[in-house]
Structure 1
């Protein structure tokens, strides 16, 4: 399962070994126990990746193999590719921009996405530090 945590200023992507259903059920139980409102709805999430990362081509091949209903890749410009994922948005309200997006796809595609996202974070951090 892929989990994208959106904050006011950024987002964080991670792979979880837990199933989507188990994770959502735990979140619902937690919300009930703490008396917090809870909203879940189907939605898409998008983010950009630099096209010059080595595994981008491998991700394209993996998407063609069988995750087309869940993930779409689109060229933005010469430097970036847009990754669009179908999944579920979990937050305190349907209008909230801070929350968690979750989706599930093949383990291999999840691995490539996480690896590419981490590489993109590292490359942008090195550019900022220079």
Structure 2
């Protein structure tokens, strides 16, 4: 399972081994037990990766294999590609831009996406410093 946490200043991506349904059920029960509103709905999430990352060709192949209703990879411009995923959005309400997006793909695809995202973060940190 991939978990993308969207905040007002960016997002974080995690690769979790817990089943998606179990994780969502736990989050809903937690929100209800503390009296917090929770919105759970099917959605899509997107993020950018540098176009020069090694391994992007493998990701494009996997995206074609999975189909457009699960994952798409497309060029934004010469510098970035956009990865869009279909999954579940959890937030305080359905209108907020802050929340958690979770999706369940094949383990190999999840691991590849996670490793590509990590590589992009290392490159961004080195450039940003």
- Using the size of structure 1 for normalisation, the TM-score is 0.95
Q: Which structure 1 residue ranges, 5 or more long, are not aligned? A: none
Task: State how far apart, in whole Å, the 2-side matches of 1:128 and 1:76 are.
Answer: 21
Q: Is the 8 A contact 1:67 1:105 kept in 2?
A: no
| Structure 2 equivalent of residue 124 of structure 1 | 124
| Structure 2 equivalent of residue 73 of structure 1 | 73
Aligned residues: 129
Moved more, 86-95 or 55-64: 55-64
Task: State how far apart, in whole Å, the 1-side matches of 2:49 and 2:66 are.
Answer: 21
Task: State how far apart, in whole Å, the 2-side matches of 1:97 and 1:117 are.
Answer: 21
> What SS does the aligned partner of 2:87 have?
strand
| Structure 1 equivalent of residue 40 of structure 2 | 40
Task: State how far apart, in whole Å, the 2-side matches of 1:72 and 1:64 are.
Answer: 8
| Structure 1 equivalent of residue 64 of structure 2 | 64
| 1:42-121 matched pairs, under 5 angstroms | 42-121=42-121
Q: Is the 8 A contact 1:67 1:106 kept in 2?
A: no
Q: Deviations over 1:48-97 (max 9, x none)?
A: 10111111111112222235421101111111111011111100111111
Q: Which runs of 4+ in 1 moved over 2 A?
A: 64-69
Q: Which structure 2 residue ranges, 5 or more long, are not aligned? A: none
Q: What is the CA-CA distance between 1:43 and the residue it aligns to?
A: 1.1
| Structure 2 equivalent of residue 23 of structure 1 | 23
- Using the size of structure 2 for normalisation, the TM-score is 0.95
